[in-house]
Amino acid sequence: MSQPLEGVVVLDLSRVLAGPWAGQLLADLGARVIKLEHPVRGDDTRGWGPPWLEGEPDVERLAAYYLCANRGKQSLTVDIATEDGQALVHRLAAGADILLENFKVGGLARYGLDAASLRERNPRLIVCSVTGFGQDGPYAHRAGYDFMIQAMGGLMSLSGEPGGMPMKTGVAITDVMTGLYATIGVLAALQERSRTGTGRHIDVALLDVQVATLANQALNALVTGTSPERHGNAHPNIVPYQAFACADGHLVLTVGNDAQFARLADLLGHPEWAEDPAYATNAARVGNREGLVPMIQALLMDRGRDDWLTQLEAHGIPAGPINTLTEVFDDPQVQHRGLRRTLRRDGQVVPQVANPLRFDGEPVTSDIAPPHLGQDSDAILAEMGLTPEDIARLRRAGVVR
């Protein structure tokens, strides 16, 4: 099956998670993604372990963190602080469609590799710059990391138990969402370029993404003029929509409308709740959650989690278990959908999580394992027309590895 981005060439100068996540998505969709890394350090996340994927003694061990965002790419090492390295990037960019980078604002301009310089030679090039705070503004010069942005962008103020410490999410969700927005911007620019013949410089910032994805909570604040409070595992706008304890574990109950609540009330042996003005509508339940939720909690303690989940499903009431990650990958639906993938490289087994997109029923996850540092350098440089002598000279000078 042909892939949507077949023939598209991406230079990925980004590191850590947000930019590489976008690069991996583009690779899954069929683009050729060349990951440009420093010859010695490489991507920071190569060293963000343990845990590690161990290989043969003479093979680079790879951090699990690095493996999550670099599938489908080739690795070319280039020291862009050198003139030879800058010349190589210019040559690559002249024939590329997209360049992803997450240097500090102005960082690439020092090397003549900023968007304006690269697009002067290749006006069709789409440059996507991922930063903490954007290309302008009073914070533009600052570095940005997911944890800090979750704090500054309000997400942590919404997470955690009432009265407890504000909490970050268990995944660097701002980085992941920024990678998704970067991908959307790049795909939109590709579509526009098919009409105009000209690329774009896309500016996407972690703080902007964090604020934009506050969703209903942002509007709760803007409509009322008051900052939402933390509700732990409860929902600020829907009741009952939270975690509950059962006799032997926990489940999440997500009652999304009044008809579902009526069925829940019947299952719990209190059909009268559905007619009670204090609970009949979601607005009433939100206003009276302090009375309703403890009653539901007391009843759920009478049975085990799985027993309740069976009954809830039979009554058409949305609910689910709170799984650990090992339980997630053992789940029959997750297994059926093929979300756990195994790639192989030189006899080494490399676990992956599948891209959730399917086109005409076919998955789009790349079958190329995340690359070792510089594993494709010789092949790419030779493809660019460099001779073995040229490559050897650049390697001796430390420009490539």
Give the residue numbers annotated as catalytic, written as ranges: 175
* 92 Cβ contact list (under 8 Å, min separation 6): 11, 34, 36, 384
The two tokens of residue 178 are 């920024």
Report how far residue 382's alpha carbon sits from residue 390's, in angstroms, rounded to the nearest whole number. Answer: 9
**CA-to-CA distance for 183 and 204, rounded, in angstroms?**
10
- According to DSSP, the residues that pair with 63 across neighbouring strands are 52
Task: Tell me the C-alpha distance between 61 and 392, whole Å.
Answer: 25
* Buried/exposed 237-270: b ≥16 CB within 10 Å, e otherwise: ebbbbbebebeeeebebebeebebbbbbbebbee
Query: What's 229's DSSP letter?
Result: P
Q: Residue 308, SS3?
A: helix
Task: Calculate the CA 81 to chain-centre distance.
Answer: 30
Secondary structure letter of residue 58 according to DSSP: T
CB under 8 Å to 216, separation ≥6 — which residues?
236, 237
- What is the distance between the alpha carbons of residues 212 and 201, in angstroms, rounded to a whole number? 20
Comparing CA positions, the residue from 371, 368, 383 lying closest to residue 77 is 371
Dist. CA 280–CA 261, nearest whole Å: 8
Nearest to 175 by CA among 42, 307, 22, 291: 22
Q: Given the structure tokens 């620019």, which residue do they identify?
A: 189
173-196 vs 18-28: helix crossing angle, rounded to 10: 50
> CA-to-CA distance for 96 and 20, rounded, in angstroms?
17
- DSSP track, 254-276: E--SHHHHHHHHHHTT-GGGGG-
Number of other residues whose CB lies within 10 A of the CB of residue 226: 9
| Total number of residues shown for the chain | 401
